[in-house]
Homo-oligomer: A and B are copies of this chain.
Amino acid sequence: MPVPSAADAAPFAIELSDVEAAARRLAGVAVRTPLITSAILDERCGARVFVKAECLQRTGSFKFRGATNAIARIAEGARARGVVASSSGNHAQGVAEAARLASIPATIVMPDDAPAIKRARTERSGATVVACDRERDDREAIAEALAERLGATIVPPYDDPGVMAGQGTVGLEIADELDGLGIVADRVLVPTSGGGLLSGVATVMAGRMPSAICQPAEPEGFDDMSRSLAAGERLDNASRSGSIADALLSRRPGTLTFPIIARHARPGVAVPDEWLLRAVAFAFTELKLSAEPGGAVALAALLSGRLDVAGETVVVVLSGGNVDPGILAQALAMDAPTYPQSMGSGGISVAPS
Protein backbone atom coordinates (compact mmCIF):
# COMPACT_ATOMS: atom_id res chain seq x y z
CA MET A 1 0.00 0.00 0.00
CA PRO A 2 1.23 3.51 -0.72
CA VAL A 3 3.02 5.17 2.13
CA PRO A 4 3.08 8.98 2.33
CA SER A 5 6.45 10.44 1.46
CA ALA A 6 7.99 12.55 4.17
CA ALA A 7 8.90 15.10 1.51
CA ASP A 8 5.51 15.38 -0.14
CA ALA A 9 1.85 15.45 0.78
CA ALA A 10 0.99 13.24 -2.23
CA PRO A 11 1.77 9.60 -1.49
CA PHE A 12 4.08 7.70 -3.80
CA ALA A 13 3.32 4.12 -4.81
CA ILE A 14 6.69 2.95 -3.48
CA GLU A 15 9.37 4.14 -1.10
CA LEU A 16 12.95 3.02 -0.59
CA SER A 17 11.81 0.62 2.13
CA ASP A 18 9.57 -1.20 -0.38
CA VAL A 19 12.55 -1.75 -2.65
CA GLU A 20 14.59 -3.03 0.29
CA ALA A 21 11.79 -5.46 1.14
CA ALA A 22 11.74 -6.61 -2.48
CA ALA A 23 15.50 -7.18 -2.34
CA ARG A 24 15.01 -9.52 0.61
CA ARG A 25 12.38 -11.49 -1.36
CA LEU A 26 14.66 -11.71 -4.41
CA ALA A 27 17.79 -12.77 -2.52
CA GLY A 28 18.99 -16.12 -3.84
CA VAL A 29 16.36 -16.11 -6.60
CA ALA A 30 17.34 -13.21 -8.84
CA VAL A 31 20.92 -12.78 -10.06
CA ARG A 32 22.89 -9.91 -8.53
CA THR A 33 24.07 -8.69 -11.91
CA PRO A 34 27.55 -7.21 -12.30
CA LEU A 35 28.49 -3.64 -13.13
CA ILE A 36 30.69 -4.04 -16.20
CA THR A 37 33.45 -1.61 -17.11
CA SER A 38 35.16 -1.23 -20.47
CA ALA A 39 38.25 0.80 -21.27
CA ILE A 40 37.05 1.21 -24.86
CA LEU A 41 33.68 2.51 -23.72
CA ASP A 42 35.30 4.96 -21.30
CA GLU A 43 37.55 6.25 -24.08
CA ARG A 44 34.63 6.57 -26.49
CA CYS A 45 32.58 8.62 -24.02
CA GLY A 46 35.34 10.49 -22.22
CA ALA A 47 33.66 9.32 -19.04
CA ARG A 48 33.83 6.60 -16.43
CA VAL A 49 31.00 4.29 -17.42
CA PHE A 50 29.47 1.37 -15.53
CA VAL A 51 27.12 -0.93 -17.39
CA LYS A 52 24.56 -2.66 -15.17
CA ALA A 53 24.28 -5.93 -17.10
CA GLU A 54 20.66 -6.93 -16.56
CA CYS A 55 20.91 -9.05 -19.68
CA LEU A 56 22.59 -11.50 -17.29
CA GLN A 57 19.44 -11.60 -15.16
CA ARG A 58 17.24 -14.69 -15.13
CA THR A 59 15.11 -14.67 -18.32
CA GLY A 60 17.54 -12.20 -19.89
CA SER A 61 16.02 -8.99 -18.54
CA PHE A 62 15.26 -7.07 -15.34
CA LYS A 63 11.56 -7.96 -15.67
CA PHE A 64 12.06 -11.13 -13.64
CA ARG A 65 12.66 -8.97 -10.57
CA GLY A 66 9.35 -7.14 -10.61
CA ALA A 67 7.40 -10.25 -11.54
CA THR A 68 8.91 -12.26 -8.71
CA ASN A 69 8.24 -9.54 -6.17
CA ALA A 70 4.67 -9.00 -7.37
CA ILE A 71 3.89 -12.73 -7.26
CA ALA A 72 5.37 -13.00 -3.77
CA ARG A 73 2.87 -10.36 -2.65
CA ILE A 74 -0.25 -12.12 -3.96
CA ALA A 75 -2.47 -13.25 -1.09
CA GLU A 76 -2.10 -16.95 -0.29
CA GLY A 77 -5.72 -17.76 -1.16
CA ALA A 78 -5.52 -16.21 -4.63
CA ARG A 79 -2.13 -17.50 -5.62
CA ALA A 80 -3.06 -20.98 -6.80
CA ARG A 81 -5.35 -19.53 -9.47
CA GLY A 82 -2.30 -18.10 -11.11
CA VAL A 83 -1.36 -14.92 -12.90
CA VAL A 84 -2.11 -13.16 -16.18
CA ALA A 85 0.12 -10.63 -17.88
CA SER A 86 0.16 -8.62 -21.07
CA SER A 87 3.58 -8.06 -22.58
CA SER A 88 5.59 -7.76 -25.75
CA GLY A 89 8.10 -10.21 -24.43
CA ASN A 90 10.43 -9.50 -21.54
CA HIS A 91 7.71 -9.00 -18.93
CA ALA A 92 6.10 -12.13 -20.40
CA GLN A 93 9.23 -14.18 -19.75
CA GLY A 94 9.72 -12.65 -16.33
CA VAL A 95 6.18 -13.45 -15.22
CA ALA A 96 6.24 -16.91 -16.79
CA GLU A 97 9.47 -17.90 -15.06
CA ALA A 98 8.51 -16.31 -11.73
CA ALA A 99 5.21 -18.20 -11.88
CA ARG A 100 7.00 -21.45 -12.70
CA LEU A 101 9.26 -21.01 -9.68
CA ALA A 102 6.19 -20.27 -7.54
CA SER A 103 4.48 -23.38 -9.01
CA ILE A 104 1.45 -21.41 -10.22
CA PRO A 105 -0.02 -21.13 -13.74
CA ALA A 106 0.63 -18.14 -15.99
CA THR A 107 -1.24 -16.88 -19.05
CA ILE A 108 0.41 -14.21 -21.16
CA VAL A 109 -1.18 -11.97 -23.79
CA MET A 110 1.48 -11.13 -26.38
CA PRO A 111 1.34 -9.01 -29.55
CA ASP A 112 1.72 -11.15 -32.65
CA ASP A 113 4.80 -9.18 -33.75
CA ALA A 114 6.74 -10.04 -30.58
CA PRO A 115 10.21 -11.46 -31.36
CA ALA A 116 10.13 -15.23 -31.83
CA ILE A 117 12.81 -15.73 -29.20
CA LYS A 118 10.64 -14.03 -26.56
CA ARG A 119 7.55 -16.07 -27.33
CA ALA A 120 9.54 -19.33 -27.37
CA ARG A 121 11.18 -18.55 -24.05
CA THR A 122 7.85 -17.59 -22.49
CA GLU A 123 6.33 -20.89 -23.56
CA ARG A 124 9.24 -22.94 -22.34
CA SER A 125 8.60 -21.67 -18.82
CA GLY A 126 5.22 -23.35 -19.14
CA ALA A 127 3.05 -20.28 -19.70
CA THR A 128 0.04 -20.27 -22.00
CA VAL A 129 0.53 -17.59 -24.66
CA VAL A 130 -2.49 -15.78 -26.16
CA ALA A 131 -1.63 -13.72 -29.24
CA CYS A 132 -3.20 -10.36 -30.14
CA ASP A 133 -2.65 -7.58 -32.66
CA ARG A 134 -0.35 -4.84 -31.36
CA GLU A 135 -2.22 -1.95 -33.00
CA ARG A 136 -5.81 -3.20 -33.22
CA ASP A 137 -6.39 -5.06 -29.96
CA ASP A 138 -6.55 -3.57 -26.48
CA ARG A 139 -4.33 -6.15 -24.90
CA GLU A 140 -4.83 -4.88 -21.38
CA ALA A 141 -8.58 -5.44 -21.83
CA ILE A 142 -7.95 -8.95 -23.12
CA ALA A 143 -5.77 -9.66 -20.10
CA GLU A 144 -8.43 -8.35 -17.72
CA ALA A 145 -11.11 -10.56 -19.28
CA LEU A 146 -8.83 -13.58 -19.03
CA ALA A 147 -7.96 -12.84 -15.41
CA GLU A 148 -11.63 -12.50 -14.51
CA ARG A 149 -12.50 -15.79 -16.19
CA LEU A 150 -9.61 -17.63 -14.48
CA GLY A 151 -9.86 -15.92 -11.11
CA ALA A 152 -6.21 -15.08 -11.69
CA THR A 153 -4.22 -12.04 -10.59
CA ILE A 154 -2.92 -9.59 -13.18
CA VAL A 155 0.78 -8.73 -12.97
CA PRO A 156 0.95 -5.34 -14.71
CA PRO A 157 4.06 -4.55 -16.76
CA TYR A 158 4.93 -1.42 -14.77
CA ASP A 159 2.08 0.35 -13.02
CA ASP A 160 2.07 -1.73 -9.85
CA PRO A 161 3.82 -1.16 -6.51
CA GLY A 162 5.12 -4.74 -6.33
CA VAL A 163 6.51 -4.60 -9.84
CA MET A 164 8.03 -1.15 -9.35
CA ALA A 165 9.69 -2.13 -6.07
CA GLY A 166 11.07 -5.30 -7.65
CA GLN A 167 12.60 -3.38 -10.55
CA GLY A 168 14.04 -0.93 -8.04
CA THR A 169 16.37 -3.64 -6.77
CA VAL A 170 18.45 -2.87 -9.88
CA GLY A 171 19.09 0.53 -8.35
CA LEU A 172 19.80 -0.93 -4.94
CA GLU A 173 22.53 -3.14 -6.39
CA ILE A 174 24.00 -0.20 -8.29
CA ALA A 175 24.10 1.89 -5.11
CA ASP A 176 25.54 -0.97 -3.04
CA GLU A 177 28.28 -1.74 -5.53
CA LEU A 178 29.30 1.87 -6.11
CA ASP A 179 29.27 2.47 -2.34
CA GLY A 180 31.61 -0.48 -1.98
CA LEU A 181 33.97 1.10 -4.50
CA GLY A 182 33.69 4.51 -2.84
CA ILE A 183 32.26 5.95 -6.07
CA VAL A 184 29.37 8.40 -6.47
CA ALA A 185 27.57 8.37 -9.83
CA ASP A 186 26.89 11.68 -11.54
CA ARG A 187 24.20 10.20 -13.77
CA VAL A 188 22.11 7.06 -14.16
CA LEU A 189 20.57 6.37 -17.57
CA VAL A 190 17.64 3.98 -17.60
CA PRO A 191 15.87 2.42 -20.63
CA THR A 192 12.29 3.58 -20.16
CA SER A 193 8.85 2.80 -21.48
CA GLY A 194 6.06 2.74 -18.88
CA GLY A 195 8.51 3.72 -16.16
CA GLY A 196 8.57 0.71 -13.85
CA LEU A 197 12.34 0.39 -13.87
CA LEU A 198 13.01 4.12 -13.81
CA SER A 199 10.57 4.75 -10.94
CA GLY A 200 12.25 2.04 -8.87
CA VAL A 201 15.81 3.10 -9.67
CA ALA A 202 15.02 6.80 -9.11
CA THR A 203 13.41 6.00 -5.75
CA VAL A 204 16.60 4.25 -4.65
CA MET A 205 18.96 6.90 -5.98
CA ALA A 206 16.99 9.70 -4.32
CA GLY A 207 17.50 7.97 -0.99
CA ARG A 208 20.93 6.46 -1.42
CA MET A 209 22.83 8.66 -3.87
CA PRO A 210 20.83 11.87 -4.14
CA SER A 211 23.37 13.81 -6.21
CA ALA A 212 23.04 11.32 -9.09
CA ILE A 213 20.80 12.56 -11.90
CA CYS A 214 18.38 9.87 -13.11
CA GLN A 215 17.17 10.13 -16.69
CA PRO A 216 15.13 8.02 -19.10
CA ALA A 217 16.64 6.80 -22.37
CA GLU A 218 13.94 6.17 -24.98
CA PRO A 219 13.65 5.25 -28.66
CA GLU A 220 13.06 8.16 -31.02
CA GLY A 221 9.32 8.58 -31.55
CA PHE A 222 8.61 6.91 -28.21
CA ASP A 223 9.97 9.54 -25.86
CA ASP A 224 6.72 10.02 -23.99
CA MET A 225 8.51 9.99 -20.64
CA SER A 226 10.93 12.80 -21.46
CA ARG A 227 8.19 14.86 -23.08
CA SER A 228 5.89 14.22 -20.12
CA LEU A 229 8.60 15.28 -17.70
CA ALA A 230 9.14 18.48 -19.65
CA ALA A 231 5.39 19.18 -19.81
CA GLY A 232 4.66 18.20 -16.24
CA GLU A 233 1.87 15.86 -17.33
CA ARG A 234 1.53 12.43 -18.91
CA LEU A 235 1.65 12.64 -22.71
CA ASP A 236 1.02 9.88 -25.26
CA ASN A 237 3.22 8.47 -27.99
CA ALA A 238 1.77 8.75 -31.47
CA SER A 239 2.05 5.02 -32.12
CA ARG A 240 2.67 1.70 -30.43
CA SER A 241 4.74 0.23 -33.23
CA GLY A 242 7.46 1.33 -35.61
CA SER A 243 10.65 1.11 -33.56
CA ILE A 244 13.13 -1.74 -33.44
CA ALA A 245 12.98 -1.40 -29.64
CA ASP A 246 10.06 -3.77 -29.27
CA ALA A 247 10.39 -3.72 -25.48
CA LEU A 248 9.82 0.03 -25.13
CA LEU A 249 6.59 0.79 -26.93
CA SER A 250 4.12 1.61 -24.15
CA ARG A 251 1.49 4.23 -24.90
CA ARG A 252 2.30 6.62 -22.04
CA PRO A 253 3.92 6.85 -18.59
CA GLY A 254 2.12 4.99 -15.81
CA THR A 255 -0.17 6.67 -13.32
CA LEU A 256 1.86 5.27 -10.41
CA THR A 257 5.29 5.55 -12.01
CA PHE A 258 4.99 9.11 -13.32
CA PRO A 259 4.66 11.04 -10.04
CA ILE A 260 7.77 9.33 -8.69
CA ILE A 261 9.73 9.92 -11.87
CA ALA A 262 8.55 13.54 -12.02
CA ARG A 263 9.86 14.04 -8.51
CA HIS A 264 13.18 12.21 -8.82
CA ALA A 265 14.22 12.22 -12.51
CA ARG A 266 14.90 14.70 -15.30
CA PRO A 267 14.04 14.59 -19.00
CA GLY A 268 16.41 12.30 -20.87
CA VAL A 269 17.33 11.55 -24.42
CA ALA A 270 15.69 9.91 -27.45
CA VAL A 271 17.76 7.66 -29.71
CA PRO A 272 17.08 6.64 -33.34
CA ASP A 273 16.97 2.98 -34.37
CA GLU A 274 20.29 3.25 -36.19
CA TRP A 275 22.06 3.97 -32.91
CA LEU A 276 20.17 1.24 -31.10
CA LEU A 277 21.62 -1.21 -33.61
CA ARG A 278 25.08 0.27 -33.25
CA ALA A 279 24.78 -0.17 -29.50
CA VAL A 280 23.72 -3.81 -29.95
CA ALA A 281 26.81 -4.34 -32.10
CA PHE A 282 29.04 -2.49 -29.64
CA ALA A 283 27.72 -4.55 -26.73
CA PHE A 284 28.47 -7.76 -28.60
CA THR A 285 31.84 -6.80 -30.07
CA GLU A 286 33.31 -4.72 -27.26
CA LEU A 287 31.46 -5.68 -24.08
CA LYS A 288 30.94 -9.34 -25.07
CA LEU A 289 27.32 -9.02 -23.95
CA SER A 290 24.13 -9.89 -25.77
CA ALA A 291 21.87 -6.81 -25.80
CA GLU A 292 18.52 -6.27 -27.46
CA PRO A 293 17.77 -2.91 -29.12
CA GLY A 294 15.47 -1.64 -26.37
CA GLY A 295 17.79 -2.87 -23.66
CA ALA A 296 20.69 -1.04 -25.27
CA VAL A 297 18.98 2.36 -25.55
CA ALA A 298 20.85 3.93 -22.62
CA LEU A 299 24.17 2.66 -23.98
CA ALA A 300 23.11 3.99 -27.38
CA ALA A 301 22.42 7.40 -25.86
CA LEU A 302 26.05 7.54 -24.74
CA LEU A 303 27.59 6.13 -27.92
CA SER A 304 25.56 8.44 -30.15
CA GLY A 305 26.98 11.49 -28.42
CA ARG A 306 23.44 12.78 -27.84
CA LEU A 307 24.32 13.35 -24.21
CA ASP A 308 27.47 15.14 -23.12
CA VAL A 309 28.89 13.16 -20.21
CA ALA A 310 32.53 14.23 -20.52
CA GLY A 311 34.37 13.74 -17.24
CA GLU A 312 31.38 12.20 -15.49
CA THR A 313 30.80 8.89 -13.75
CA VAL A 314 27.81 7.40 -15.54
CA VAL A 315 25.79 4.25 -14.95
CA VAL A 316 23.84 2.88 -17.90
CA VAL A 317 21.39 0.08 -17.35
CA LEU A 318 21.58 -2.56 -20.09
CA SER A 319 18.10 -3.81 -19.34
CA GLY A 320 17.63 -6.79 -21.66
CA GLY A 321 19.53 -9.22 -23.86
CA ASN A 322 16.87 -11.18 -25.73
CA VAL A 323 17.93 -10.22 -29.22
CA ASP A 324 16.81 -12.21 -32.23
CA PRO A 325 19.84 -13.52 -34.17
CA GLY A 326 18.62 -11.72 -37.30
CA ILE A 327 18.68 -8.36 -35.50
CA LEU A 328 22.18 -9.04 -34.22
CA ALA A 329 23.33 -9.92 -37.74
CA GLN A 330 21.77 -6.68 -39.01
CA ALA A 331 23.58 -4.73 -36.29
CA LEU A 332 26.93 -6.39 -36.97
CA ALA A 333 26.58 -5.75 -40.70
CA MET A 334 26.37 -1.98 -40.18
CA ASP A 335 29.45 0.16 -40.52
CA ALA A 336 31.99 -0.74 -37.89
CA PRO A 337 31.92 1.76 -35.06
CA THR A 338 34.76 4.26 -35.04
CA TYR A 339 37.39 3.41 -32.52
CA PRO A 340 39.41 5.80 -30.40
CA GLN A 341 42.74 6.75 -31.87
CA SER A 342 45.31 4.26 -30.73
CA MET A 343 48.63 5.38 -29.35
CA GLY A 344 50.37 3.41 -32.06
CA SER A 345 53.65 1.59 -31.86
CA GLY A 346 55.61 4.18 -33.73
CA GLY A 347 57.81 3.54 -36.73
CA ILE A 348 58.50 -0.16 -36.39
CA SER A 349 58.23 -2.00 -39.68
CA VAL A 350 60.00 -5.31 -40.02
CA ALA A 351 59.52 -8.27 -42.30
CA PRO A 352 60.17 -11.80 -41.05
CA SER A 353 63.65 -12.90 -41.98
Contact = CB atoms under 8 A, between A and B. Distances in A.
Nearest to A131: B352
A82 B31 contact: no
Interface in A321-353: 321, 325, 328-329, 332, 339, 342-346, 348-353
Contacts of A107: 345, 348, 350
B290 A352 contact: no
Interface stretch (A67-75, A97-105, A219-227, A230-238): A97-105
A143 to B, nearest CB: 9
Interface residues of A, number: 56
A150 interface: yes
Given A321-B288, A352-B145, A345 B56 contact: no
Contacts of A289: 56, 288-290
B130 A351 contact: yes
Contact of A128 (B290, B332, B343, B345): B345
A287 interface: yes
Given A146-B352, A288-B290, A329-B329, A82 B130 contact: no
A99 B343 CA distance: 10
A342 B149 contact: no
A105 B290 contact: no
Given A288-B321, A289-B288, A325-B332, A127 B345 contact: yes
Interface string A8-46: 000000000000000000000001001011010000000
Contacts of A350: 107, 128, 130, 146, 149-150
A112 to B, nearest CB: 12
A169 interface: no
A257 interface: no
Given A150-B350, A288-B289, 9 more contacts: A31-B36, A103-B343, A105-B346, A125-B342, A126-B342, A126-B343, A146-B350, A149-B350, A325-B329
